[in-house]
Structure 1
Amino acid sequence: MALTISPTVLLVSGAVVLYALYTRIALYLRRRAFKKQHGCQPSYYRYNKDPFLGWDVLQESITNAADHKLLAGMQARFLKLNTKTFHSRQVNVPLITTCEPENVKTVLSIKFKDYSLGNRKAAFSPLLGDGIFNSDGEKWSNSRHLLRPNFARDQVADLEAFERHFKLMIKHIPSDGTTFDLQQLFFRFTLDSATEFLFNHSTNSLRVLGDDSGSAEAAFAKAFSSSMDDILQHFRAGPLHFFRRGKKEGLEAVRVCHEYVERFVDEAIAWRRERDVGNVEEKEGDRYIFIRELVKQTTDRTALRNELINVLLAGRDTTASLLSNMFFEIATKSGIWERLKEEVKFLEGRPPSYEELRNMKYIKWCLNESLRLHPVVPGNTRLAIRDTVLPLGGGPDQKAPLFVPAGTTVGYSPYTMHRRTDLYGPDAHLFRPERWDTLRPSWEYLPFNGGPRICLGQQYALTEASFVTVRLAQMFDRLESRDTNGGVWVEGLGLTLCSGNGVLVGLVKGEKA
């Protein structure tokens, strides 16, 4: 029996095909005119051999990640192609990757509105919700407006609180040169100080170090680390997320984190209500409490929780990673420790003031050099939400503008950019703080992102890292590396970049070995 197709079906099918063909032709013509208008030329640099799914690049990245060489592998791609911008592909996503400062400036600032966070939002949402690090457009603008006043003060950090937590940290540092992992203490220190700054209540994880009592604070500290590991795995898995293991445990860790933070949100909302009816009197000179400043602007429980967790993530991880990477490098170079000790000598053992911290030039150089060599956020991406242009990368010499179609992911690599010998000299791979005596970089140095999304808490982080460095230099005569990898830094890439081999050191008081 012959299959009969009605004229109506044929007509509709033909119309659909013609419409699809029309839209494709219209898109082609529109993009051709767009490229001509902006002087775009095609890219001559493509990394992957598989042009359809990019499995070769994906497999290479998986191998590099397992070997703790994901960032070095990215740098090697630029060097292999002898380029600053190249195309590749990952499954169904076209990629443009760049280490060109002008391109980074364009993505993050000049054409900021042409990009979104892309698939990062889905991975980070369970923990971060619509907080400042995980939102675009109006939601992001509202978050920025809510948080910015709280970081605009001259003295954003509480040095007295830093000193209290530092004294707890010191109790876990052997003073006779016994080997220990300083990085573990840094992550606990920054968690404790950040939670006190945000909630007016510290997790005090340094106080309960080695205590498995199951307190709410210990449970939160563990869950916070677990939930961040989970969202990182989610992000890396991309469209294959549904096939990975551990999703249930990750969601449970997120639940513990949310419940812990909501406790302080509820207390702050109750404080706001009491304040509004006149039962609470604020006095000039009262200690600054971040959560109470936030609750003056909104009592939205979910919004408050999300923003606090977003800021906590940045407040703990960035500073701890910065300190860890820096001390790993300093420990292998005794001359740097001696110079740091000389710079803090005038304090005669007392804690520094804000003004004194700001004027410590060599400590600032060390922090800058650590953020250059091991940027705490070493790579990032944006998704083009409309057809747009990068100023460089087109043509055989890459001097012409490069067309970026909507739906393209643009990745930028501060790790590679910070190690470019044409920008930082032939010794760009070395930790040398003295280079900052004359360096005055612009977009080629990106320690805290840039443009409208530049990190609000960078002054807090630098103040905290400076304070800890000063106090350690005051208290210990020698800092010795006990690294098991011969003093060669190993990539520890999570949501931030730290030392994959820890920071195994010995700190010595006096002249005893």
Structure 2
Amino acid sequence: MAAFSVTQLPVPVVLVAFVTLFALHRVYFELTTGARRRRMIKESGCEPIVWYPHKGIMGNLLGADLIKDMIKSGKEGRMHEASRIRNFGDGKKSIRVRLAKNNVINTIEPENIKTILATKFQDYSLGKRRRDVFLPVFGHGIFANDGAAWERSRSLVRPNFTRQQVADLDMFEVHVSHLIDSIPRDGSTVDLQDLFFGLTMDSATEFLFGKSTNTLAPGLETKSASEFVKAFVFVTEGEFIPNDRLCMAAAEGITASANNFRSGGLAEWIPDAKWRKSVKIMHQFADEIVQQAIDELKTGKQNPDSRYVFLHALLNQTQDPYALRSELLNILLAGRDTTAGLLSNTWHVLSKRPDVWAKLRAEVEELGGERPDYSTIKDMKYLKWTLNESLRVMPVVPGNSREAIRDTILPLGGGVDGKAPALIKKGEVVAYSPWSMHRRKDFYGEDAMEFKPERWEHLRPGWEYLPFNGGPRICVGQQYALMEASYATIRLIQTFPRIESRDPGEWREWMTITLASGTGAKVALFEK
């Protein structure tokens, strides 16, 4: 008997069959999902979120007008500020935009962000895009996992950021000393941003691996460590290559770099031998250290009285090499980039603001040249205000997003005035922008655009200030980052009480995984 194929049917019959199937599917959808959504809308009083006024056919179909503006402003180092003006400049706090194949809800409402990150945390995930970007490089670690896998990662990582570990400043002193030794004494120009990225790489690898890359200590770095640093930098700081998924990432504030980061998770389709080699070098470096630590633990050669090492603490909870490597690389990514960005942004401002510098120097001079301890640093109010203001004006994570894993409700954003609740459908992405929210004058006053540490004397913000995220996924290492930035700033001022800016330009954005200064931190420092 001859086999039967649908292609043997007359075209009208096939067409009718497809139309019938589509109609049946639509009826089923309206009776189930559609009915549930209509009920949610009615019960919660939801209204639609206003659309961004896209221009032209391609703008309305694919958001081409918005993507074009994003690429242009990104090249100018002002993507986030341009986005703030474009999306929220007319007073709106939530808006829906089209970006390629995706519809994205952008919001700067603290109540919405609180809902996403805390009260309805279980309704959202990081989203497929972020997993596509992170997993090939950093593995299933705390910043890439969702659900039960994330809970396991959190339980592994969080206990290792106690006050006891953060308060141990001897390790910071070693690497800050290397940084200070790298600064010219003759008044010539130095870009502190380059040194800050070296500092945080060196301190983070020692804290995590027990083995520092020592990039700031000539003669101490090894070939394998040097290759690891070069590979890490290439993977996370590559050139900007626009495409729809990258623009999606840019809109959500997680601009990716170098192949997989640049491509938004499409690396497997892009022949880039250097990228693949760099990832391999990163993995080999970490794997060798992990395996050595496992072997030492099994043979009893690990010294129980040695200084704290993050990897050794993790070994008490798991000896899975892949899990250990993944968590180490995840934390390294955050530990290096966020702190270096915070320091670079802050020192760019300090070099151009003699009023802020004078007040900060006066507070540091009260130490009498002595190295500060944890409690002393915690009591330095103006230093704390300065770092808080840096994180407000130039947040190291200027934007982020979550993807709804079920139909859910945002408390605000619906209707023309944005005051009504809004339905968020399963699969929709909600992006939130600390950059824009931190500039809201109703929260921070008419001078919200100015860098003014003094505002923190009485400011006690809630969800409108989000430098380290919030809710269950709040950054576990925020105190570590703030302590390192504080300690490095104090020791630099103690050594160099005078500073000159060597960069006449204004601060500009440089987006890698986090936000740093697009013009660096070019200064001259003087010992007298």
After TM superposition, the structure 1 stretch with the greater mean CA deviation from structure 2, 214-223 or 375-384, is: 214-223
Per-residue deviation at 1:280? 5.3
Rate the CA distance shift 1:221–1:240 in 2: closer, same or farther, 3 A: closer
- Equivalent residues of 1:421, 1:428 under 8 A apart: yes
The one-letter code matched in structure 1 to 2:304 is: E
Rate the CA distance shift 1:91–1:466 in 2: closer, same or farther, 3 A: same
- Equivalent residues of 1:133, 1:310 under 8 A apart: yes
Question: Which residue in 2 is equivalent to 1:25?
Answer: 30
Matched, 1:221 2:238: no
Question: Which residue in 2 is equivalent to 1:171?
Answer: 181
Q: Secondary structure at the match of 2:525?
A: strand
5 Å-filtered alignment, 1:176-325, equals 176-208=186-218, 215-229=223-237, 231-233=256-258, 234-235=260-261, 237-238=263-264, 247-275=272-300, 282-283=304-305, 286-325=306-345
Rate the CA distance shift 1:46–1:289 in 2: closer, same or farther, 3 A: same
Per-residue deviation at 1:459? 0.6
Rate the CA distance shift 1:198–1:239 in 2: closer, same or farther, 3 A: closer
Matched, 1:329 2:349: yes
Identity of aligned residues (%): 46
Question: Which residue in 1 is equivalent to 2:60?
Answer: 51
Per-residue deviation at 1:12? 6.1
- Equivalent residues of 1:117, 1:381 under 8 A apart: yes
Unaligned runs of 5+ in 2: 1-7, 239-255
Rate the CA distance shift 1:330–1:141 in 2: closer, same or farther, 3 A: same
5 Å-filtered alignment, 1:9-24, equals 13=18, 16-24=21-29
* CA distance in 1: counterparts of 2:395 and 2:18, whole angstroms: 55
* CA distance in 1: counterparts of 2:451 and 2:479, whole angstroms: 22
Per-residue deviation at 1:8? 9.8
Pairing partner for 1:428 from 437, 448, 456: 448
Rate the CA distance shift 1:34–1:181 in 2: closer, same or farther, 3 A: same
Rate the CA distance shift 1:471–1:90 in 2: closer, same or farther, 3 A: same
Question: Which residue in 2 is equivalent to 1:388?
Answer: 408
Instruction: Give deviations 1:218-239, integer Å, cap 9, x for gaps.
Output: 1111111111135535445448
* CA distance in 2: counterparts of 1:440 and 1:124, whole angstroms: 34
Question: Which residue in 2 is equivalent to 1:501?
Answer: 519
Q: Secondary structure at the match of 2:422?
A: strand
5 Å-filtered alignment, 1:455-474, equals 455-474=475-494
Per-residue deviation at 1:305? 0.3
The TM-score, its normalising length taken from structure 2, stands at 0.90
Aligned residue pairs total 499
Question: Which residue in 2 is equivalent to 1:111?
Answer: 120
Q: Secondary structure at the match of 2:105?
A: strand
- Equivalent residues of 2:132, 2:265 under 8 A apart: no
Question: Which residue in 1 is equivalent to 2:170?
Answer: 160
Q: Secondary structure at the match of 1:133?
A: coil
- Equivalent residues of 2:509, 2:516 under 8 A apart: yes
* CA distance in 2: counterparts of 1:282 and 1:493, whole angstroms: 41
Matched, 1:62 2:71: yes
Instruction: Give deviations 1:302-329, integer Å, cap 9, x for gaps.
Output: 0100100000111111111000000111
- Equivalent residues of 2:335, 2:477 under 8 A apart: yes
Per-residue deviation at 1:426? 1.3
- Equivalent residues of 2:204, 2:332 under 8 A apart: yes
- Equivalent residues of 1:192, 1:202 under 8 A apart: yes
- Equivalent residues of 1:322, 1:371 under 8 A apart: yes
* CA distance in 1: counterparts of 2:274 and 2:465, whole angstroms: 38
- Equivalent residues of 1:120, 1:235 under 8 A apart: no
Question: Which residue in 2 is equivalent to 1:36?
Answer: 42
Q: Secondary structure at the match of 1:132?
A: coil
The TM-score, its normalising length taken from structure 1, stands at 0.92
Per-residue deviation at 1:176? 3.1
After TM superposition, the structure 1 stretch with the greater mean CA deviation from structure 2, 105-114 or 181-190, is: 105-114
- Equivalent residues of 1:126, 1:251 under 8 A apart: no
* CA distance in 2: counterparts of 1:493 and 1:7, whole angstroms: 54
Instruction: Give deviations 1:57-93, integer Å, cap 9, x for gaps.
Output: 1111111112212111111113444301000111111
* CA distance in 2: counterparts of 1:6 and 1:355, whole angstroms: 80
* CA distance in 1: counterparts of 2:151 and 2:525, whole angstroms: 45
Question: Which residue in 1 is equivalent to 2:241?
Answer: none
Unaligned runs of 5+ in 1: none
Matched, 1:149 2:159: yes
* CA distance in 2: counterparts of 1:239 and 1:204, whole angstroms: 31
Matched, 1:376 2:396: yes
* CA distance in 2: counterparts of 1:422 and 1:400, whole angstroms: 19
